[in-house]
Amino acid sequence: MIKLLGAMMIMAAGAMLGFGQARRLRERPAELRRLVMMLQQLETEIEYGCTPLPEALGKFARPDRQALSEMMAGIASLLRRGGGVTVEEAWRLSVDEYWPCTSMNREDREIFVQLGTVLGTSDREDQLKHLRLTAALLKEREAEAAEERRKYEKMWKSLGLLGGALIVVILY
C-alpha cells in the first residue's frame, strides 16, 4: 500500500517537473514578445514625447501585476525616489528582483540588462538605436524560443510522466 502511494507520488513529481518545464517553454516566447512590445512603446515615448524616463517607465504599471510590468514600474519608482540612484543601478535592482519570476533565461536577461547601462545617457537618436538593437536581439531570441517550444514542449510533458513511470518501474 505504502509502495503504491510512493509510486504515485514519484509519478506525480515527474509529471509536475515535465509540465513545469513545458510551461516555461510555452511562456518564454510570450514574455519576450511582451518585452519587445514594451521597448517599442518606450521607443515611441522617447521619439515623439521626449518623456522623461521615470515617467515613461511608470506608464507600464498595470493593475494585473504581471512580473514584467512590475519590473518596469519598479525601475520607475526607484528613480522617482531619488537619493542618487542612477538608471543603471535601478535597472539592475529591479531586474534582479523580478526576472526570476519570469520564464526567460540568463542570456535574455543579459541583453536586457545591457540596455539599462545606456538608457537615458545619450541623445535621442542614440537612445533609439539602442532600443531598436535590443528589441531586434530579443526578437531573435523570441523566434528561437518559439522554435524550442515547438520542438520540446510536448517532449517535456511526456518525458516528465514517462520518467516518473521509469523510476517507478525500476524501483518496484
Among 11, 38, 46, 161, binds other proteins (CB under 8 A): 46
Give the x/- contact pattern for other proteins in 103-132, rule: CB under 8 A.
Answer: -----------------xxxxx-xx-----
CA dihedral 23, 39, 127, 146 (to 10 degrees): 40
Give the closest residue to 74 by CA, choosing from 99, 51, 50, 111: 99
Cell of 23: 510551461
Q: Does residue 72 touch other proteins according to CB under 8 A?
A: no
Q: Which stretch binds other proteins (CB under 8 A): 21-29, 33-41, 45-53, 105-113?
A: 45-53
Q: How far is CA 152 from CA 68, 89, 103, 148, 172, in A?
A: 25, 36, 15, 6, 29
Q: Does residue 18 touch other proteins according to CB under 8 A?
A: no
Give the binding site for other proteins (CB under 8 A).
Answer: 46, 50-54, 56, 79, 82-84, 86-88, 120-124, 126-127
